[in-house]
Chain A
């Protein structure tokens, strides 16, 4: 397209906004590359005078009195992958049923599920802990997985429901005339088309479960099974805050989700384009 003043202005505006979005990452990266002596709140915009990966090393493997993030990253992975996959599968099934098979009271049920999403989780911590304890899953990673799966049901169902609602009725009708029942339609029509929907849900759930702190700190008692968010909080400590290590730790903890958005972001967009969140 031609580069007239209007287009130029457009690009300038976009670049200006890009600065707004990139500014914090600049600070994160620059601070984590500085040594502790150089880190200074009042010179945060200055690039590091000497590049040092020391803070990353300390954030990963520990330092004076704190444990590093390395082992906890593994815990997060072990927790997040099953939780994401299971909650996506459940969401897909539920979303399909709510979109296509209107049984009596389905709408009310759906509204109730969405409404339940709004309760602050701080207020249900105690009954949650007691319930998990009574089924023997308290303090374990499977307990965390179960928690995330259950509390992820409303949002995954919402996304899939909206997605499946955009599948043309004719396709479904054709399959039903061929004799397919509920599961048949799901298997033959919906599932093959689900990829974009799964892209959105998997990315969304991966991010929210990976970044969760509240359930992680409440349920995962043993430091050996704690996810990375708890370890990151411990990095901050209650004494001298080593900002370069904290920022390095924050970057490391955010790396998986960042990579997901940077490299898989187009599938997220494609999933949205294919109608998943159109309503």
Chain B
């Protein structure tokens, strides 16, 4: 009993870390049933299946552990078991369907769907995989990525699978209303219980939690935060012409006037993917509307006939006069070549651009998009849990890794975003590059508004209409017509 009591203390300590599959071995000194062991360790015999599963998983890679074949088995003295930590055990009980006896035997796969195929994103994903393998060496990870910006191809592969009842175990999902497009009440598992068990509802910031909630439930575990409203600028050009980053649009257009005709593109723009220009427009909206008004656009509280929208369109129109004419040939990354070559001065893009600049060795300057100081237009990548995931128990560990501090630091340092958790210590923060450190500071104090082009503010159907309207505007420059189209899009989406 004393030995068990000591182990219990260890579990409590370990459990506080919110870690999954940390745990400890236990060698029986007398024959015992799983139910009794569970009662002794956790104070409740219901955790027997969790212990059985954890032990069997360990036994697959380490044969000193006993293989348990039945839940009601009486294990002999000297049998070595693995006692999982309390959080994981609780999660197991929450997820496990008692009809699925196969889940008690460990192993299996973890099919992870995403569109992270290259560069820092893929490295970040690999780091998460490595962490997962440390704790769950019995599971085979299948990296089911499909390339294509913003999941353009991936979603077309995933959706038929969801409908046919054959989804991956987990997949990448933007935080926010993008989840509406997956009819989560039918296809996804709500994660409220996991949030409580792993303490995520305490460690993620309330603004993010608000973003994550749809129809009153959480549907994904966020791994990072990205910022959309960043103005990148070429420091040398600014130094040469004695310029400072513009705080508002008047200063911005003054800079453009100075640079125009000097063989430099004042503001570079890309739109080959069809989303880059609408991305710019959403940051302009965040500058011409207050955070509440901006959020209201997506709930119907703010009408799209608001003069702030008109002003945003006027600003976009004026920007087009200073932008590079070949914008439709450039994706968000190729247009940054202008800045790298000293032929372009400014660009508006999310902070994944930083990764590009770093890879190219460009010392770029950054500032909030004019007029958005104090506003953080946020987006976040999360992982979701389909109801019919083929290996549900393995998903628990994955979500736990994604939500853990260790996982988030490992992932974000490679991807170039910031962790979603708020409990990052100062030394841990210092490991990130200067831009990300300043980003983390802004995240802690700025007003958070959701990005629309990256799945947070609006359901995908609306995002497509919004995008189409802005894309047409680039050519027609018709402010009234585009505003009407945006009004119609809101009406169609909100059903009013």
- For the complex formed, measure the closest distance between the CB of B385 and the CB atoms of chain A, giving whole angstroms: 18
Contact, CB under 8 Å: B161 / A221: yes
Q: Contacts A233-B147, A237-B117 given: A65-B163 contact, CB under 8 Å?
A: no
- For the complex formed, measure the closest distance between the CB of B26 and the CB atoms of chain A, giving whole angstroms: 37
Contact, CB under 8 Å: B334 / A65: no
Contact, CB under 8 Å: A65 / B157: no
Q: Does A234 contact B (CB under 8 A)?
A: yes
Contact, CB under 8 Å: B164 / A234: no
Contact, CB under 8 Å: B117 / A238: yes
Q: Does A66 contact B (CB under 8 A)?
A: yes
Q: Does A138 contact B (CB under 8 A)?
A: yes
- For the complex formed, measure the closest distance between the CB of B355 and the CB atoms of chain A, giving whole angstroms: 7
Question: Which residues of B, 104-152, contact A by the 8 Å Cβ criterion?
Answer: 115-123, 125-126, 142-150
Contact, CB under 8 Å: A65 / B147: no
Q: Does A70 contact B (CB under 8 A)?
A: no
- For the complex formed, measure the closest distance between the CB of B155 and the CB atoms of chain A, giving whole angstroms: 12
A-B residue pair count with CB separations less than 8 angstroms: 106
Q: Does B153 contact A (CB under 8 A)?
A: yes
Q: Which of A126-134, A159-167, A266-274 contacts B (4 or more CB under 8 A)?
A: A126-134
Q: Does A241 contact B (CB under 8 A)?
A: yes
Q: Contacting A241 at CB < 8 Å: which of B121, B146, B150, B334?
A: B334
| CA of A246 to CA of B120, assembled, Å | 18
- For the complex formed, measure the closest distance between the CB of B486 and the CB atoms of chain A, giving whole angstroms: 27
Residues in A whose Cβ lies below 8 Å from that of B165: 133
Residues in B whose Cβ lies below 8 Å from that of A139: 166
Contact, CB under 8 Å: A64 / B122: yes
| CA of A129 to CA of B159, assembled, Å | 10
Residues in A whose Cβ lies below 8 Å from that of B334: 41, 241
Q: Does A239 contact B (CB under 8 A)?
A: yes
Residues in A whose Cβ lies below 8 Å from that of B161: 129, 221
Q: Does A222 contact B (CB under 8 A)?
A: yes
| CA of A240 to CA of B361, assembled, Å | 13
Q: Does A217 contact B (CB under 8 A)?
A: yes
Q: Does B333 contact A (CB under 8 A)?
A: yes
Contact, CB under 8 Å: B355 / A239: yes
Q: Does B186 contact A (CB under 8 A)?
A: no
Q: Contacting A238 at CB < 8 Å: which of B121, B143, B157, B168?
A: B121
Question: Which residues of A, 234-252, contact B by the 8 Å Cβ criterion?
Answer: 234-242
Q: Contacting A125 at CB < 8 Å: which of B118, B156, B355?
A: B156
Contact, CB under 8 Å: B147 / A236: yes
Residues in A whose Cβ lies below 8 Å from that of B148: 233, 238
Per-residue B-contact encoding for A224-239, CB less than 8 Å = 1, 0 else:
0000001001111111
Contact, CB under 8 Å: A126 / B146: no
Contact, CB under 8 Å: B166 / A65: no
Contact, CB under 8 Å: A238 / B115: yes
Contact, CB under 8 Å: B166 / A138: yes
Of A133, A138, A223, A239, chain B has the most CB atoms within 10 Å of the CB of A239
Interface residues on A, range: 20 to 34
Q: Contacts A233-B153, A234-B146, A238-B147 given: A65-B160 contact, CB under 8 Å?
A: no
Q: Does B359 contact A (CB under 8 A)?
A: yes
Q: Does A218 contact B (CB under 8 A)?
A: yes
Residues in B whose Cβ lies below 8 Å from that of A130: 160, 163-164
Residues of B in contact, count (CB < 8 Å): 39
Contact, CB under 8 Å: B122 / A129: no
Q: Contacts A125-B156, A125-B160, A126-B160 given: A240-B144 contact, CB under 8 Å?
A: no
Contact, CB under 8 Å: B146 / A233: yes
Contact, CB under 8 Å: A234 / B119: no
Contact, CB under 8 Å: A65 / B142: no
Contact, CB under 8 Å: A223 / B144: yes
Q: Contacts A65-B126, A239-B120, A240-B118 given: A217-B144 contact, CB under 8 Å?
A: no
Question: Which residues of A, 188-218, contact B by the 8 Å Cβ criterion?
Answer: 217-218
Residues in A whose Cβ lies below 8 Å from that of B118: 64-66, 234-242
Residue of B nearest to A213 (CB): B153
Residues in B whose Cβ lies below 8 Å from that of A242: 118
Q: Does B356 contact A (CB under 8 A)?
A: yes
Contact, CB under 8 Å: A64 / B123: yes
- For the complex formed, measure the closest distance between the CB of B73 and the CB atoms of chain A, giving whole angstroms: 34
Residues in A whose Cβ lies below 8 Å from that of B160: 125-126, 129-130, 218
Contact, CB under 8 Å: A230 / B146: yes
Residues in B whose Cβ lies below 8 Å from that of A240: 118-119, 333, 355-356, 359
Q: Contacting A237 at CB < 8 Å: which of B144, B147, B166?
A: B147
Residues in B whose Cβ lies below 8 Å from that of A222: 142, 144
- For the complex formed, measure the closest distance between the CB of B379 and the CB atoms of chain A, giving whole angstroms: 14
Per-residue B-contact encoding for A94-110, CB less than 8 Å = 1, 0 else:
00000000000000000
Contact, CB under 8 Å: A65 / B122: yes
Residues in A whose Cβ lies below 8 Å from that of B144: 221-223
Contact, CB under 8 Å: B156 / A218: yes
Residue of A nearest to B333 (CB): A240
Contact, CB under 8 Å: B146 / A65: no
Contact, CB under 8 Å: A66 / B156: no
- For the complex formed, measure the closest distance between the CB of A121 and the CB atoms of chain B, giving whole angstroms: 12
In the complex, given contacts A64-B122, A129-B160, A239-B352, what are 7 additional A-B residue pairs having Cβ atoms less than 8 angstroms apart? A41-B334, A126-B164, A221-B144, A223-B144, A237-B118, A237-B147, A240-B356
Binding site for B on A (CB under 8 A): 41, 64-66, 125-126, 129-130, 133, 138-139, 217-218, 221-223, 230, 233-242
8 contacts between A and B (CB under 8 A): A126-B164, A130-B160, A234-B118, A234-B146, A235-B117, A238-B150, A239-B118, A241-B331
Q: Which 10 residue pairs of A and B lie closest in terms of their CB atoms, listed nearest first?
A: A65-B122, A237-B118, A239-B119, A129-B160, A234-B147, A237-B117, A234-B117, A238-B149, A239-B118, A133-B164
